[in-house]
């Protein structure tokens, strides 16, 4: 089984992916981390990579090709990916939602090495809103998909008032019922 976990920024996708994979004994990967490594490889921040991606699909292609490969060749995987549901349609598709301010504060506390450091929650919120909007437009342009449409998913969980272990348990219960 392959589980793709999408959702809002700061909803806990990366943490839940790692914890769920460990509990199931599955492999895990983060497409956000992979895109971050792609950005660093090109001497860019993730936001600079995304800016180039508005006009050039190569910024997404390497990560997308890895998703396609996993979907065809692998099993027992949990993937943190905004658009994995599209590239691996037979996966169990999970969407993690979160109040935008709660998600922003989570991200502010744990800023990534492939992002330009922000000094305030307000700056992080502005960055996240732009990234979400630009990514949504990019995926609409290149793939004609809306990864924020919750109808694309088998399970939607609001993580605003949950810790990661509670979210993992909800996913495990869902999987057992299927």
Which CATH number does the domain housing residue 52 bear?
Answer: 3.40.50.300
Whether residue 107 is predicted with pLDDT greater than 70 in this model: the reply is yes
Does 118 map to a domain? yes
Chain mean pLDDT for the chain:
92
What pLDDT is stored for residue 149 in this prediction? 97
Q: Is residue 33 part of a domain?
A: yes
Containing structural domain, residue 10: 2-159
pTM of structure:
0.88
Is residue 32 assigned to a domain? yes
Q: Say how many Å lie between the first and final Cα of the chain, rounded.
A: 11
Does residue 54 surpass a pLDDT of 90?
Answer: no
For the segment 23-52, the average pLDDT, to the nearest whole number, is 90
In a domain, 81, yes or no: yes
What is the arrangement of strands in the sheet containing 2-7, beginning at the earlier edge strand?
A: 27-30, 77-80, 2-7, 92-97, 155-158
Residue in this structure with the two tokens 């998913």, named with its chain if needed: 153
Q: How many domains does the chain have?
A: 1
Least confident of 2-16, 73-87, 113-127, 147-161: 113-127
> Is the pLDDT higher at 32 or at 71?
71
Place of tokens 């992002």: 115
pLDDT tens-digit series, residues 15-24: 999 999 999 9
Q: Is residue 54 part of a domain?
A: yes
Q: Which helix or strand (DSSP H or E) is residue 23 part of?
A: helix 13-24
d(CA 176, CA 173): 5
For residues 108 and 57, is the Cβ–Cβ distance under 8 A? no
Let me know if residue 115 belongs to a domain. yes
């Amino acid at each position: 089984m392959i589980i793709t976990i999408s959702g809002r920024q700061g909803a806990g996708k990366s943490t839940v992916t790692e914890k769920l994979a460990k509990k199931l004994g599955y492999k895990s990967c983060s497409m956000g981390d992979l895109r971050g490594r792609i950005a660093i490889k090109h001497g860019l921040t993730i936001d600079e990579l995304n800016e180039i991606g508005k006009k050039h699909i190569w910024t997404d292609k390497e990560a997308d090709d890895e998703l396609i490969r996993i979907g065809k060749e692998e099993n027992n995987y949990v993937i943190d990916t905004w658009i994995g549901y599209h590239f691996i349609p037979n996966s169990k598709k999970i969407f993690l939602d979160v109040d935008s301010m709660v998600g922003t504060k989570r991200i502010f506390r744990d800023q990534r090495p492939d992002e330009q450091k922000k000094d305030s929650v307000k700056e992080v919120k502005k960055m996240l809103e732009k990234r979400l909007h630009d990514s949504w437009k990019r995926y609409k342009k290149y793939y004609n998909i809306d990864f924020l449409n919750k109808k694309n998913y088998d399970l939607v969980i609001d993580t605003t008032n949950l810790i990661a272990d509670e979210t993992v348990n909800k996913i495990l219960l869902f999987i057992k019922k299927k």
